[in-house]
Amino acid sequence: MIDVQVVFFDIGETLTIAHPTPADRLARLETLPGVLQSLGRLKHAGFRLGIISNTGEETSQTMRRALSGAKLYDFFEPTLLIYSSEVNMKKDSPEIFRLASERAGFATQPSHCLFVGDDQRERNFAADAGLQVATSPVEVAELLVRS
């Protein structure tokens, strides 16, 4: 992971487990083990943090509430919160990852961005857009932050 400056994360199954309402809306997020510590280490080391997530019909307000409830929201830069419901793109092509690199200021150097997600297909689209990829927030923190 060479010269990574911005780390983007998927939410579900990467940072959290999502708990839906009976109407299939987001009720709450349960943070996975090691995530809070890993995000803290990355942020303290000076990495900029963001999210790229397929959010269905959720709004930025409901996402903020859910992320805040899981004690995650404050780790991320608001301009780097890329929700499919807000940008009208999904993680089913490189386009949303290109948008994320552009918002981070690396449109012409997307390799300065890293996408962390559990889904191999999504990681492939991120790599097609020029981002570096990884599967685990805990592993990323261990690789990028030398204690």
Identify the weakest region by mean pLDDT among 20-29, 84-93, 123-132: 20-29
Helix ranges (H only) for the chain are 35-44, 60-69, 84-87, 95-103, 120-128, 137-144
Mean per-residue pLDDT over the chain, rounded: 96
Answer whether residue 1 shows pLDDT above 90. Answer: no
* 3-state secondary structure (DSSP) of residue 72: coil
Strands 6-9 and 48-53: parallel
Q: How far is 1 from 90, CA to CA, in rounded Å?
A: 25
How much is the pTM? 0.97
38-71 pLDDT, tens per residue? Answer: 999 999 999 999 999 999 999 999 999 999 999 9
Domain 6-144 has CATH 3.40.50.1000: yes
Q: How far is 86 from 44, CA to CA, in rounded Å?
A: 29
And the tokens for 115?
């996408």
Q: How far is 133 from 119, CA to CA, in rounded Å?
A: 11
Mean pLDDT of 83-101: 97
